[in-house]
């Protein structure tokens, strides 16, 4: 099931997935407007990965699949910039887009239902171990990073930290089912392990 809605869009170099949180610093007027309107109307907005271009200045080329996010917190930083904490919620696909005079982009979004909370099976134990090891390596709180794991969230959390080409990371957002994404993640892990085991020349 999905629904259609026009939403404001925020192109980012970062690929943000559903169930993942991130902090963003806001300084451009168009995105200050986005934050103000989002908070005032309790409206989510979309984050789309940038394919070519930059986050600032002219409108970049974006990947049409992204993530619907909500603002969870905000604060004014000592440098005067606005910092917001966002939470990825659902996958989106963007059709027609328009750009307003101030450069803020809007798009017709197909918003997909939240993935089911199917529990992790024995076949995914090695992926959970890998996620735990990566959390330790990054120095993040494992109790938070590993909380509420399901098949769907395991995929997104691994995808967010594995060192894989951005094009492949973007393509994960276009995959319709959890099982399809899980299979893709397992391919990444096999390739990374083979690369690590390969003797240096």
Which residue matches tokens 């970062």?
14
Predicted TM-score (pTM) of the model is 0.91
Distance separating alpha carbons of residues 135 and 160, to the nearest angstrom: 12
- Tell which CATH classification among 1.10.890, 1.20.58, 2.60.40, 1.10.10 matches the domain 122-197: 1.20.58
Could you state, in order of their start, the residue ranges of all structural domains in the chain?
2-112, 122-197
Q: How many CB atoms lie within 10 A of CB 143?
A: 8
Does the pLDDT value for residue 1 go beyond 80? no
pLDDT at 139: 79
Distance separating alpha carbons of residues 195 and 186, to the nearest angstrom: 14
Distance separating alpha carbons of residues 133 and 7, to the nearest angstrom: 37
Query: What is the per-residue pLDDT across 138-168, written as a single tens digit (0 to 9) for each?
Result: 877 777 777 889 999 999 999 999 999 999 9
Distance separating alpha carbons of residues 30 and 45, to the nearest angstrom: 13
Mean pLDDT of 85-93: 97
CATH class assigned to 2-112 = mainly beta
Mean pLDDT of 123-144: 85
Query: What is the per-residue pLDDT across 170-179, written as a single tens digit (0 to 9) for each?
Result: 999 999 999 9
pLDDT at 201: 64
pLDDT at 200: 62
């Amino acid at each position: 099931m999905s629904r259609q809605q026009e939403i404001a869009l925020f192109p980012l170099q970062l690929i943000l997935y559903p169930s993942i949180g991130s902090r963003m610093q806001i300084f451009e007027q168009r995105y200050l407007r986005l934050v103000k309107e989002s908070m005032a109307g309790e409206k989510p907005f979309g984050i789309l990965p940038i394919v070519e271009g930059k986050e600032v200045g002219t409108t970049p080329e974006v990947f049409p699949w992204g993530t619907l996010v909500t603002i969870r917190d905000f604060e004014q930083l000592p440098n005067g910039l606005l910092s917001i904490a966002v939470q990825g919620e659902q996958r989106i696909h963007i059709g027609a887009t328009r750009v307003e005079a101030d450069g803020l982009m809007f798009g017709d979004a197909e918003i997909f239902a939240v993935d089911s909370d199917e529990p992790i099976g024995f076949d995914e134990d090695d992926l959970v171990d890998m996620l735990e090891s990566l959390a330790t390596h990054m120095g993040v709180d494992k109790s938070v990073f590993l909380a509420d794991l399901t098949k769907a969230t395991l995929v997104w959390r691994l995808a967010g930290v594995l060192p894989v080409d951005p094009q492949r990371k973007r393509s994960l957002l276009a995959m319709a089912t959890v099982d399809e994404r899980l299979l893709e993640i397992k391919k990444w892990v096999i390739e990374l392990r083979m690369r690590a085991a390969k003797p240096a020349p």
